[in-house]
Amino acid sequence: MLKFLSLICICFCLSGAISQNIYKQKTYLMGSDFEITVVAKTQLEADKQIAIAIGEISRIEALISSWKTTSETSNINKNAGVSPVKVSEELFSLIQRALQISNLTDGAFDISYASMDKLWKYDGSMTQMPSKEAIKKSVAKVGYQDIIVDPKNSTVFLKNKGMKIGFGAIGKGYAADKAKKMLISNGVSGGIINASGDINSWGSKPSGSSWQVAITNPLNKNKAFAMLPIKDAVVTSGNYEKYVTFNSRRYSHIIDPRTGYPSQGIISVTVFAPKAELADALATSVFVMGVETGIDRINQLKAVECIIITDTGNIITSNNLTLNTQE
């Protein structure tokens, strides 16, 4: 009888373990396509958790959006060159971390890029290179050094009139991090927040196997050259769809905030990191810094790895990343 009861218990436990399934929902948030994946026992439970994630991402959008006039970010921008603005602890911390990444990347990442004049067009309307003077002028108001933060009073001040900050190169990653944290606290054992390619995962599939990401070469997008397991965040940034060509030189949509010139030589950067916020910011930064400086900077960071694909098709990886290439 004892053996029989033990067998029932074991069977019950096993059936409970395998009763979980993968549920997905696509939605549109922060001006981008999101796909939220959770491991749950029922569709009802999955829908509830996905709704919670959507609510958290929407809250982040209301906080950091520069086009919503009621956001704290918009208030900072409106008071540029006028007065410091007291902000929430959450936004203050995000801005502080952004400034740390700016220092780490020598300004290749800069949230004041939002001050940049929209000089480069990628809709086919550009017929000639902008002048050097126009390019220089386009970044005249950009400079993370002019973002003054006061930890004691929790204020942010943009020194110059016309300055703006924006979180386009870090915001989706941050939102993915926050949504992931909330779902984990709710007991969701595994899932993925995919914010238009900013991917943050945790746990595993119901089968126990790891989540995986396909790495493709933009020069041959129909075939993945590697499949890699992911346990945290992976972000890919690419210029293979938005670029202009002048004098046989390709200019990407990713602009160096220090010079106003588009990045060159790289068509794709994939960064693996503990948090999507960091991976998001670094993917853009590596594009701007270039292959040698970018890889060197990544190799100095703990638990961060990188794959770079150059415009000639070369694949370059950071020191501790091994690719199991697909035949």
Q: How confident is the model at residue 7 (pLDDT cuts 50, 70, 90)?
A: very low
pLDDT over 90 for what percent of the chain?
Answer: 69
Cα–Cα distance measured from residue 101 to residue 111, given in angstroms and rounded to the nearest whole number: 10
Structure confidence by residue, pLDDT tens digits, 202-246: 999 999 999 998 877 777 766 777 788 888 999 988 866 677 777
The mean pLDDT value for 139-166 works out to 96
pTM for this entry: 0.87
Cα–Cα distance measured from residue 169 to residue 282, given in angstroms and rounded to the nearest whole number: 9
Q: How confident is the model at residue 264 (pLDDT cuts 50, 70, 90)?
A: confident
Question: To the nearest whole number, what is the mean pLDDT of the chain?
Answer: 88
Domain positions in the chain are 23-66+167-202, 72-158, 210-327
Structure confidence by residue, pLDDT tens digits, 94-120: 999 999 999 999 999 999 999 988 888
Residue range 23-66+167-202, CATH number: 3.10.520.10
The mean pLDDT value for 169-185 works out to 95
pLDDT over 70 for what percent of the chain?
Answer: 91
How far is residue 2 from each of residues 5, 6, 7, 9, 11, measured CA to CA in Å?
Answer: 5, 6, 9, 10, 14
Residue range 210-327, CATH number: 3.10.520.10
The mean pLDDT value for 125-150 works out to 92
Q: What is the structure's pLDDT at 158? A: 98
The DSSP secondary-structure symbol of 319 reads T
Query: Is the fold of 72-158 the same as that of 210-327?
Result: no
Helices (H), 189-322: 276-289, 291-299
The mean pLDDT value for 124-148 works out to 91
Q: How confident is the model at residue 12 (pLDDT cuts 50, 70, 90)?
A: very low
Higher-pLDDT residue of 123, 166: 166
Cα–Cα distance measured from residue 64 to residue 142, given in angstroms and rounded to the nearest whole number: 18
Q: What is the structure's pLDDT at 239? A: 66
Residue range 72-158, CATH number: 1.10.3980.10
Residue pair 227/215 in contact (Cβ under 8 Å)? The answer is: yes
Choice among 86-90, 167-171, 178-182 with the minimum mean pLDDT: 167-171
